[in-house]
Amino acid sequence: MKVADRPLEGKVALVTGAACRIGRSVSLRLGRLGARVAVHYKTSAAEAFETAELCGGKSFQADLEDFSAIGQLFEEVESSLGPLDLFVNNAGRYREVDILKVTEEDWDFIHNVNLKAAFFCCQEAAKRMRDRGGRIVILSSLGATRPWTQHAPYCASKAGVAMLTRVLAKGLAPKITVNSVAPGVIHFENDMSPHVEHLVAVTPMRRPGCGEDIAEAVCGFFTGSSFITGQILAVDGGLSQRA
Residues with catalytic roles: 154
Distance CA 90, CA 228 (A): 20
CA dist list (Å): 227 to 137, 217, 230, 232: 14, 16, 10, 14
Closest by CA to 196, choosing from 84, 187, 143, 68, is 187
State which H helix or E strand residue 22 sits in.
helix 21-32
C-alpha to C-alpha distance for 105 and 27, rounded to whole angstroms: 31
- Taking the C-alpha atoms of residue 188 and residue 210, their distance in angstroms, rounded to an integer, is 7
Query: What is 104-146 written as a DSSP string?
Result: HHHHHHHHIIIIIIHHHHHHHHHHHHTTT-EEEEEE--GGGTS
Q: What is the rounded CA–CA span in Å between residue 110 and residue 186?
A: 19
Amino acid, single-letter form, for residue 210: C
- CA 193 from chain center: how many Å? 23
Length of the chain as a residue count? 243
